[in-house]
């Protein structure tokens, strides 16, 4: 088992918080966190990866934790940072996964990261402003009001993120469940307990510990062109999404399944944003490893 230093100095002088765990000779699994999020792991994912001999590679995107902000970044900018991390650990090949707000970043790697052999998108966000997707339809009340604040302008966007930051830094796990009630279907509330609840809160606190710039830049990146075309994707890509998802609506998964070339789609009835990976991470990783071996 090994662990990289807790940050990497990038060629442009930025600092990137990193976490690498698992067997030093294992195939790297680059994991892109949600929004807001950080390199703090969900232990159930890390365990499942390590059991399969995968070396988990995670970063806090710019502006989260102690990662230097990259104001105005686009989704595609994650590719250069990911490539730098892989070079630092001496890896020429990897698999990639992204959950929620990490989904677009995983897709960017599917399109542009030379080292990527296969990609997994879990409850990922679809592009904003495309003609055949009503982007906010099906979102729970909290997320609808959150993104409406972003569409009103930067002042209202900052206000809603500062409110979220204050809540996260002072919350207990029970408080988080209450705060997110309008985006938690019963299946998600049922799994947001014990270790998973602790990890979710720790991830959120680390993301927003220094400030809200990472969240601002993530969300603005989702709402503008991502900087690459889905048509560029040629590596095996798996799309998983649950029909009960109130954070990233099911329609996003359906849209991605229809627009990512050759996607293997798992559009699962009755699962939510959180319950889906909790209950299916083993199948997800097994498929990802098999797909990487075949590519």
The per-residue pLDDT for range 106-131, each reduced to its tens digit, is 999 999 999 999 999 999 999 999 98
Q: Is 211 exposed, middle or buried (0-12, 13-18, 19+ CB in 10 A)?
A: middle
244 part of a folded domain: yes
**Which pLDDT score, from 0 to 100, does residue 6 have?**
83
133 part of a folded domain: yes
pLDDT, tens only, 258-268:
999 999 999 99
94 part of a folded domain: yes
pLDDT, tens only, 8-65:
999 999 999 999 999 999 999 999 999 999 999 899 999 999 999 999 999 999 999 9
| Mean pLDDT value across residues 76-88 | 97
Are the CB atoms for 240 and 272 separated by under 8 Å? no
Range of the domain at 25: 7-294
Residue 3 predicted with pLDDT over 60: no
Q: How far apart are CA 292 and CA 119, in angstroms?
A: 8
Are the CB atoms for 17 and 38 separated by under 8 Å? yes
**Which pLDDT score, from 0 to 100, does residue 4 have?**
52
The count of domains in the chain is: 1
1 part of a folded domain: no
pLDDT category, 194, cuts 50, 70, 90? Answer: very high
80 versus 174: the higher-pLDDT residue is: 80
**Nearest C-alpha neighbor of 124 from the set 14, 286, 233:** 233
- Other C-beta atoms lying within 10 Å of the C-beta of residue 229: 9
What CATH number should be reported for the domain holding residue 23?
3.40.50.1820
Residue 1 predicted with pLDDT over 80: no
pTM given for the model: 0.97
**Which pLDDT score, from 0 to 100, does residue 5 have?**
52
2 part of a folded domain: no
pLDDT, tens only, 143-193:
999 999 999 999 999 999 999 999 999 999 989 889 899 999 999 999 999
- Other C-beta atoms lying within 10 Å of the C-beta of residue 114: 10
263 part of a folded domain: yes
13 part of a folded domain: yes
pLDDT, tens only, 232-260:
999 999 999 999 999 999 999 999 999 99
Question: What residue has token string 């050759």?
Answer: 262
* Structure tokens belonging to residue 242: 């649950």
């Amino acid at each position: 088992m090994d662990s990289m230093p807790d940050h990497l100095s990038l060629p442009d002088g930025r600092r990137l918080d990193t976490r690498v765990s698992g067997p030093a000779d294992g195939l790297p699994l680059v994991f892109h966190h949600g929004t807001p999020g950080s390199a703090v792991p969900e232990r159930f994912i890390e365990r499942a990866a390590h059991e399969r001999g995968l070396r988990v590679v995670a970063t806090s995107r710019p502006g989260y934790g102690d990662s230097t902000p990259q104001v105005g970044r686009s989704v595609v900018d994650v590719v250069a940072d990911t490539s730098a991390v892989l070079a630092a650990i001496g890896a020429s090949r990897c698999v990639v996964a992204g959950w929620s707000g990490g989904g677009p970043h995983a897709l960017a790697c599917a399109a542009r990261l030379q080292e990527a052999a296969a990609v997994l998108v879990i409850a990922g966000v679809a592009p904003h402003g495309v003609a055949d997707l009503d982007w906010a339809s099906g979102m729970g009340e909290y997320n609808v009001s959150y993104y409406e604040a972003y569409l009103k302008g930067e002042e209202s966007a900052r206000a809603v993120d500062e409110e979220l930051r204050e809540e996260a830094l002072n919350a207990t796990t029970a408080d988080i469940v209450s705060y997110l009630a309008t985006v938690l279907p019963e299946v998600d509330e049922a799994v947001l307990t014990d270790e998973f609840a602790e990890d979710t809160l720790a991830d959120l606190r680390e993301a927003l510990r220094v400030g809200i710039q990472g969240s601002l830049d993530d969300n603005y990146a989702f709402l503008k062109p991502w900087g690459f075309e889905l048509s560029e994707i040629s590596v095996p890509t798996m799309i998983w999404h649950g029909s009960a998802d109130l954070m990233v609506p099911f329609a996003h998964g359906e849209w991605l399944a229809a627009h990512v070339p050759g996607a293997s789609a798992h559009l699962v009835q009755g699962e939510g944003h959180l319950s889906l990976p909790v209950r299916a991470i083993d199948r997800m990783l097994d498929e990802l490893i098999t797909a990487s071996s075949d590519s």
